[in-house]
Amino acid sequence: MPRLVAVCAVSALRPDGGRDRVTAIDKRPLEGRVRIGRYGVGADVQADRKHHGGLDKALYAYAAEDAAFWEEELGRPLPPGFFGENLRTEGLDVNASVIGEVWRIGEVCTVEVTMPRTPCQTFARWVGGAEQRGWVKRFSSERRLGPYLRVLRNGSVQAGDPIEVISRPEGAPGLLVGYRDPA
C-alpha cells in the first residue's frame, strides 16, 4: 500500500539569487504528527508566494522512487525534503496521477492533485549550481516532476501513514499531459 515516508517543512531560509532574495527550498523531515491546513504543512513557509504556495500549491509531493532515480544519476543521497517537497511518498506513481485526483493521507487529511511542479533556477542552484548546468531542462525531460496539491480536508499526518487514491476523475488530463519542457 502506498505510504507517506516523510512530512517536510522549511529548515532555514537561504539567500537566493541576489540582494534581499531568499528561498525556503531547504526542507527537512518533521518528527511525529504534523498538522496540514489549507495552506499546507503548519510549520512550513513559502518565501516566494508569487510562484509557490497558495491554495493550489499548498503541498508538493515527491516519490521515493523518483528520488532513488536521481540518487543514482547524481551519485549522492537525496534525503526527504531535498526536492523542496513537503510529502515524500512511496508506492504511489505520483507522476501518473490526473488533475483532480484525490488522495486520503492517514485517516482524515484529503488532498487534490492540481498541477505538476515547474522547476526553476532556484531549484537548479539548490541542486548544485554550475555543477548542474542545464538542471531545469534535465529534471523536466525525465518527467519525474511530482504534483502540487490542494488541501481539501485538514488533518494531522505522519511518516508511515497510508496514502489512498479515493477518487480519480474519468477523462481528466494526466499530470504531465501537455507539459512542455523548459526551453
pLDDT in tens, 115-163: 999 888 888 888 886 566 788 999 999 999 999 999 999 999 999 999 9
pLDDT of 183 > 70? The answer is no
Q: Which domain holds residue 82?
A: 3-167
Residue 54 belongs to a domain: yes
pLDDT at 48 over 90: no
- Do the domain assignments include residue 174? no
108 part of a folded domain: yes
The set of residues, in sequence order, having a beta carbon less than 8 Å from that of 25 and lying 6+ positions away, is 14, 16, 84, 122, 123, 126
* Closest C-alpha among 120, 99, 119, 121 to residue 111: 99
Write down the pLDDT at residue 61.
Answer: 98
- Strand 34-37: give its sheet, edge to edge: 40-41, 34-37, 155-157
The answer to whether residue 69 is domain-embedded is: yes
**Residue 74 in domain:** yes
Whole-number Å distance between alpha carbons of 64 and 125: 22
* Residue 183: inside a domain: no
Alpha-carbon distance 57 to 159, whole Å? 21
- Domain tally, the chain: 1
Q: CATH number for the domain including 84? A: 2.40.33.20
Is residue 19 domain-resident?
Answer: yes
